[in-house]
Amino acid sequence: MRTTLTIDDDVAVLLAEEQRRTGASFKETVNQALRKGLHSPALPRERFQVTPINLGVPLGFSFDNVSELLEELEGPDHR
């Protein structure tokens, strides 16, 4: 397959170093690097966990009647 690829400068330097080290062509070096990267197992990610904090209900407010709560917070024209 033939394609055009834009390679970042730092990656180009690494490819050139690998090419000099192995004596392989640029095409062979890029293909080998892609194979290694695509066949390597994904690095395990650290699990993200959210710790909930109970903020409580503000004094004088109740969540039992949402319409009443909205009217108290936003005024009678909340709709």
Q: How far lies 38's CA from each of 4, 17, 50, 52, 67, in Å?
A: 19, 20, 32, 38, 55
Instruction: Give the model's pLDDT for residue 78.
Output: 64
Q: What is the pLDDT of residue 75?
A: 79
Q: Measured between alpha carbons, how far is 9 from 68 in angstroms, rounded to an integer?
A: 61
Phi, psi (degrees; rounded to nearest 5) at 26: -60, -45
Q: Regarding predicted confidence, which is higher, 72 or 26?
A: 26
Is residue 47 helix, strand or coil? coil
pTM of the predicted protein model: 0.51
